[in-house]
Amino acid sequence: MMPTVATAQRDLAELCPEPVLAAVMCHRGPGASGLKKLFGSKDPSSQLAINNWLVLTPTALRIISLGGRTGMKPRKEVAAWPRAAVLVAVEGAEVSSYFASTGSSLDYRVHRLHITAADGTMLVTDVRSAPMLFGDDQDLVTDEAIAAESDPEVREAMLGLREMTDEVNSNLAAILTGCGVAPQPQPQP
């Protein structure tokens, strides 16, 4: 199950004092070392967990770290910046995850967000552009691929994956617009 805005509203009720307008799952970007977290740096980039919520509320852009056995339990608010006082730049990137146990790696595309607060705090975080899809798997959710699929169950699964991708991109666009960033053309899956 892919986390949604409704999931964020429910799960973050105790940590987020405002209504959630848009939310996406984000992950530590490059340079956010686990060593900094281990040795107690107070910098927001070192306080990020592997999974985090990036949340737009009526007054702020918030990042809430997740943890627990599933990696999905809200732990703490890492940062909250007034929407008018934060700059967000976005770029496309490809990330590779290496699995030592199998000697293989998976590549996936992300929207890399560079967040700069008024106090100079900088944070880099990644939002998957197509959740649950890796590398060239994004070709599975194009109109042509879905139309060509003859198995109704497979076609339904493909449509579900595209719906998740569209929801993430829609919420990310709402967050960017809410922070004053001009809407970016979304890459086609």
- 110 strand-pairing partners: 93, 128
Establish if 55 belongs to a structural domain. Answer: yes
Q: Give the chain's mean pLDDT.
A: 83
Establish if 44 belongs to a structural domain. Answer: yes
Query: Taking the model in full, what pTM does it have?
Result: 0.83
* Count of domains observed in the chain: 1
What distance in Å separates the CA atoms of residue 106 and residue 97, rounded to the nearest whole number?
5
- 109 strand-pairing partners: 94
Establish if 189 belongs to a structural domain. Answer: no
Half-sphere exposure of 138 (CA within 13 A, CB side): 17
pLDDT tens figures, 53-109? 999 999 999 999 988 888 788 899 999 999 988 999 999 888 887 778 888 888 888
Establish if 121 belongs to a structural domain. Answer: yes
Establish if 186 belongs to a structural domain. Answer: no
Establish if 188 belongs to a structural domain. Answer: no
Establish if 164 belongs to a structural domain. Answer: yes
What distance in Å separates the CA atoms of residue 77 and residue 14, rounded to the nearest whole number?
11
- What is the span of the domain harbouring residue 46? 5-178
Establish if 127 belongs to a structural domain. Answer: yes
